[in-house]
Structure 1
Amino acid sequence: MSMNRVLSIQSHVVSGYVGNKSATFPLQVLGFEVDAINSVQFSNHTGYGFWKGQVLNEHELDELAEGLDRNDLLNYSHLLTGYVGSPSFLTRIVQLVPRIRKVNPNLIFVCDPVMGDNGEMYVPKELLPIYRDQILPLADIITPNQFEAELLTGTKINNVEDAWNTLDLLHAKGPRTVILSSTELGSDDNLLALASYKNGEKCTRISVNIPKLPAIFTGTGDLFAALFLAWMTKTGGDLKGAVEKTISTLQAVLKRTLANAQVLSGGKPPSKAHLELQLIQSKSDIEQPNVVVSAVAK
C-alpha cells in the first residue's frame, strides 16, 4: 500500500468545490491516496441559499469503518477531518482515531475544527466541547480560523500577542502544530496567518501576510488544510516551507478563480457559481507552486 494514504472525513457537494471535493484532487495530484467519507452529500454548498441532499449519521459512519476494518483497510498515514454537523458523528470520529492508530501508531491527524466564522457559529454549539476536550488531545495538526481558536480556548484575540498566547493554549491541549489560517489582525490589503510548532522545549513560530482579493470564496479552508497536510509531509515537517507553499498555491487558485469569474459575469457582480474554485485548471500550480509569499520567523 502507498505510504501516504489519507482518510478524509468531511462534506461533499455534487456541484462545486468544498469539503472533500476541495481536498481530494489536490492531495491526489501531490501523490496521496485519498479515501473519502462524506459527512454530508449536498447538491451544492449552502452559500447558494438553497440546497438538497443527505446527512450521514453516526451509525452509517460505524458501518463504513467496520467494512474498512474487516478488510484490513484502516492502514492510513493521515486522518483529515473538516465539516461535521452533529455531536454524535463527531464523537464517533473520536472513537475512530484509536482504531486507526492501533493499525498505524504513527498516524498524523489533521483537524480543521469547522465551527464558524466572523463571530457566528454555523454548527450546533454542542460540538465545541467535543472538539475542545476530546478531539484536540488526539490531533497532531489543527487549522482553526481566529473565531474557532477563540471558541476552543475561551479567549479573545485583540492583537498579535493575544494570538500567540492563544496558540500556546491550543498546544497545551495536545496538537504540536497549530496554524491560524486567517485572522483579523492584518491590514486593509493583507490577511495575517500565524503558525506554531511546539514539541517539548522546541518551538517554531512564523507569520505570513496574505494578499486580500476582492471576492468571497467558499472551500478555501478545506483546500488550505489539505495542502498543508501534503506540504508538511513532503517537506519533512518544515513549517515555514509548508506554509509558504500552501498559501502560494491558494493565491494562484484564487486569482485564477477571480479572473474566470470576472469573464463569466460579464462585468456584473460574480455569482456563487462563477466563484467556484478553479481547482482542475490549477493542476500545475498545485504540483509546483510558485512561492509568492514569505513567512517570517518570530
Structure 2
Amino acid sequence: MKSVLSIQSHVVHGYVGGRAAIFPLQSQGWEVDNINTVHFSNHTGYGHFTGTSLACKELDSILDQLINNLDIEYSAVITGYIPNAKLIACISRYILQIKQRNTPLEKPLYLFDPVMGDNDYMYVDKSCVEEYRNLIKLRIADIITPNQFELQLLSGIKISCRNSLKEALDKIHKEYGVPYIVVTSVDSKIVDGSESRNNSNSNSNSNSNSNKNIYCIISVKPQADKLQQEEEKGNETKLAMFQIPQIESYFTGVGDLFSALLLDKFVANNHLENKPFQRLSRAVNQVLTIMKWTLKLTYELGMDQARKTHCGEVKCNNTISNGTSNGNGHIEDEEIVGKMNDANTMKHFELKIIQARKYYDYDGEGEFKEMNVEF
C-alpha cells in the first residue's frame, strides 16, 4: 500500500495546496494523511481571503502523535506551502526522524516543494529562506521542485544565464546532497541566452517567439554513497530540459498539482530504479503531459463558465491582448482570462482537478521532447 504524509496549505474554495494534490494522489491508490499548514477561505489570488495558520505547538502535537505514538510508517512525504520558519524547523525535525527510522521497510521518499515565491516576489516571510536551507542541509530531500526564483533563493546564486543556472544546480547537488532537481519553470531568456546579451544585438522576432515558452529543467546526480564507483569512472550530473508553450491566463495550484503527480509517477517508474536519469525524465514528461491536458481543460471550461456568467463582459488580461470589439460592445472570447487579484475572473479558472481525473492514469512516454542543455 502506498501512503504519503502531505504537509501543505488548504483552502475551502478552489484548488491549491492539498486541494490540488490529495485527490490526484488518492485516485492513483495513495493513502494520504494531510496536515493543513493554513486553513483559508480561498487562495490569495482572489485579492481577499480569511483564515488562520497552523500554530507550531499544534503541528508538533500532530506530528508527535502520528510518528511517535501511532508509529505510522509512510512510503513518502511531500511538503508544500509552509508560511513561517518555525513551522519549517518543526517539520524538518520530524522528517529527519522518519528518514532515520530503523525499519525493514524502504526509507520513505521525500519530495520537497520549496514554495516561497515567483518572478522575484516572495509570498512567505524572508526567514523561510534560511530555514529551508537548513532543511536541505540535513540531506533528507530526495526530490526538490523549485521554480527559477526559488532555486535562486535556495542556492544564493543569481540566475542570469545557463552557466549560473548550472552553478546553482551543482550547489544544491553537491553541498546539500539532493539527487533529483526539477526546476519547474525557467525563463526562456535564461535558456536562449538573451538575458545576458545586449538587447541591441538580439533578434526581436526570435525573442518574441521564445518568450511564449518556458522551460522545465531536470538535473540528476545520485547520492555519492550509492554511486562511488561510477563517480570514479567520470559519471557527472545529467541535465535535460523540456520546452513548454504557455497558456496566457493566470492559474493557481499548478505547482502543487505538478509535485503531487511527480511523486506518483516517480514511484510508478521504479522499474527504472537503476537508471535514475531516465526514471526522472520519464516521470517528468508524463507529468508535463498531464498538466498540459489539465490546463487546456481548465481554460476551456473556464471560458465556457465565464461566457455564461458574464456574457462576455469579463475584463481582459493585458498580457493577452488589448482586445477587440465586435462592434456591439461585446468583448471577444480571448479576453476572458484569469487575472491576479480579480475575483470575478479568478473563480472561473480554478484548476479542474476533478474533471481531469481521467488524465492521472496516463503511463505513456509523454508528449514532450527531451532536449540537451548545453553550456
TM-score range, shorter chain: over 0.9
Which residue in 2 is equivalent to 1:165? 167
Q: Which runs of 5+ in 2 are unaligned?
A: 192-209, 225-230, 274-278, 315-335, 338-344
Query: How far off its partner does 1:204 sit?
Result: 2.7
Q: CA contact under 8 A between 2:11 and 2:42: conserved in structure 1?
A: yes
Deviation at 1:289, TM superposition (A): 5.9
Larger displacement relative to structure 2 (128-137 or 288-297): 288-297
Residue 179, structure 1, aligned to residue 254, structure 2? no
Pair 1:194-2:217 in alignment: yes
**Match for residue 66 of structure 2?**
68
Q: In the alignment, which residue of structure 2 is the partner of 1:154?
A: 156
Q: 1:59 to 1:135 in 2, by over 3 A?
A: farther
Following superposition, the deviation at residue 11 of structure 1 comes to 0.1
Bigger radius of gyration? 2
1:92-131 superposed matches below 5 A: 92-103=90-101, 106-131=107-132
Aligned runs of 1:167-246 on 2, under 5 Å? Answer: 167-172=169-174, 173-185=176-188, 187-199=210-222, 200=224, 201=231, 202=235, 203-236=237-270, 237=273, 238-246=279-287
- Quick check: 2:99–2:140 contact (8 Å CA) kept in 1? no
Letter in structure 2 aligned against 1:261: G
Aligned 1:36-55 pairs, distance under 5 A? 36-55=34-53
Q: Assess if the C-alpha contact under 8 Å between 1:248 and 1:289 holds in 2.
A: no
Aligned to 2:196: none
The separation in 2 between residues aligned to 1:73 and 1:84, in whole angstroms, is 24
Letter in 2 for 1:131: Y
CA distance in 2, matches of 1:156, 1:273: 35
Q: Residues 212 and 48 of structure 1: is their aligned pair in 2 closer, same or farther, counting only changes over 3 Å?
A: same
> 93-102 or 270-279, which moves further after superposition?
93-102
Instruction: Report the 3-state secondary structure (helix = DSSP H, G, I; strand = E; otherwise coil) of the residue aligned with 2:184.
Output: strand
Distance 1:24 1:8, change over 3 A: same
Does the residue aligned with 1:139 lie in a helix, a strand or coil? coil
Opposite residue 16 of structure 1, the aligned amino acid is: G
Distance 1:151 1:218 in 2: 21
Tell me the CA shift for residue 160 of structure 1.
Answer: 2.4
Aligned to 1:288: 362
Q: Which has the higher strand share?
A: 1
Aligned to 2:57: 59
Q: Residue in 2 aligned with 1:6?
A: 4
Scaled by the length of structure 1, what TM-score is found? 0.94
- Cα offsets for 1:17-55 (capped at 9, x unmatched): 000001111111122111100000101001111111121
Task: Give the RMSD, CA atoms, in angstroms.
Answer: 1.6
TM-score by length of 2: 0.76
- For residues 259-289 of structure 1, the C-alpha deviation after alignment (integer angstroms, 9 at most, x for no partner) is 1111111143341110100111111111126
1:132, distance to aligned residue in structure 2 (A): 1.1
Q: Residue deviations 1:211-257, cap 9 Å, x none?
A: 11010100001111111111111011501110100111111110000
How far 1:296 sits from its partner (Å)? 2.4
Whole-angstrom CA distance in 2 between matches of 1:66 and 1:86: 19
Task: Give the Cα–Cα distance (whole angstroms) in 1 for the partners of residues 243 and 67 of structure 2.
Answer: 43
C-alpha contact (below 8 Å) 2:169/2:219 kept by paired residues: yes
Distance 1:118 1:171 in 2: 23
Give, as a single letter, the amino acid of the residue that structure 1 aligns with 2:255: G
Deviations along 1:44-74, one digit per CA (max 9) or x if unpaired, are 0011111111211111111111221355343
Cα distance in 2 for residues equivalent to 1:195 and 1:224: 14
For structure 1, the 5+ residue unaligned runs are none
Output the amino acid matched with 2:183.
L
Segment of structure 1 superposing worse, 228-237 or 65-74: 65-74
Structure 1 contact 68–74 (Cα < 8 Å) conserved = yes
Could you say what secondary structure the match of 1:113 adopts?
coil
Following TM superposition, by how much is the alpha carbon of 1:297 offset from its aligned partner in structure 2, in angstroms?
A: 4.3
Cα deviation 1:153-180 (Å, max 9, x = unaligned) = 1111122232222111111212110110
